[in-house]
Amino acid sequence: MQRYFLEAHAELGEHYTIAQKDDVHHIKNVMRQQVGDQCIINFMNGTMVVELTDIGNEVTVRAIDQLDIQTEMPISVTIASGLLKNDKYEWMIQKATELGAHSFIPFVSERTIVKVDEKKFQKKLERFEKIVKEAAEQSYRQIVPYVQFANSGKSLVKELEVFDHVLIAYEETAKTGETKSFTEAIKHIKHGDKVCVIFGPEGGLSETEIELFGGTTVGLGPRILRAETAPLYVLSAFSFHFELQ
């Protein structure tokens, strides 16, 4: 059953309106749903089965059943990653959304190759948001991860205060053969904690940035991972530790 998101608190029996053009188009022209058909909506206070009661320029639905499901990771993981060239960043956030990331902070690192025009970057952010929304629907997420841009490492530091843990994936740690720091860091994380994991772009993070961020540096095993692969490794490890054991 197709899933959508609405920023509303729902009650059984009440009616709600889907107004977002992409969602209306998908319901009418892709899924070809009719009045009386059902779909699933993730509301702000839970996930519900709804019945379509009117289909026009907007779609009206009625909440008919509350679903007792939990598809979100028990910790909140934010991926702060230096912007990547070509479409690698888009690929990463799509897959990271499927793996349970709570939010993303793309930032301009000292070694970022991509040229960023902040005036034009808003369109890029809108594309990122669309990618994570579609990935969240496909993977049965109950929230849509948000994307917040930081135009420098110093700007990123200002965002780190809200987190319980800040981990820095540092390839130099892995190159020395260190393999226990990530495991040790996970042991200190509890259900409900907010975790930010920082990754560099192609070429990694500079020593200056490592000192600036002030978190715990961790290696991700004996192999050196690509910038777009490392966040997926971390999310998979978190999922195994917190969801599958």
Q: At residue 177, does pLDDT exceed 80?
A: no
Structure tokens at 38: 């059902």
Q: For residue range 113-154, list pLDDT tens digits in order.
A: 888 887 788 899 999 999 999 999 999 999 999 999 999 999
pLDDT in tens, 25-50: 999 999 999 999 999 999 999 999 99
Q: What is the pLDDT of residues 191-201, one digit of tens each?
A: 999 999 999 99
> What per-residue confidence (pLDDT) applies to 178?
67
60 in Cβ contact with 54 (< 8 Å): yes
Q: Which H or E element spans position 196?
A: strand 194-199
Superfamily the domain 3-67 falls into: Hypothetical PUA domain-like; domain 1 (2.40.240.20)
Distances (CA, A) of 8 to 14, 137, 169, 173: 11, 17, 37, 45
76-243: in CATH 3.40.1280.10: yes
Specify the pTM: 0.91
Which residues of the chain form CATH 3.40.1280.10?
76-243
CATH 2.40.240.20 residue spans of the chain: 3-67
Buried-state track 113-130, b at ≥16 Cβ within 10 A, e below 16: ebeeeeeebeebeeebbe
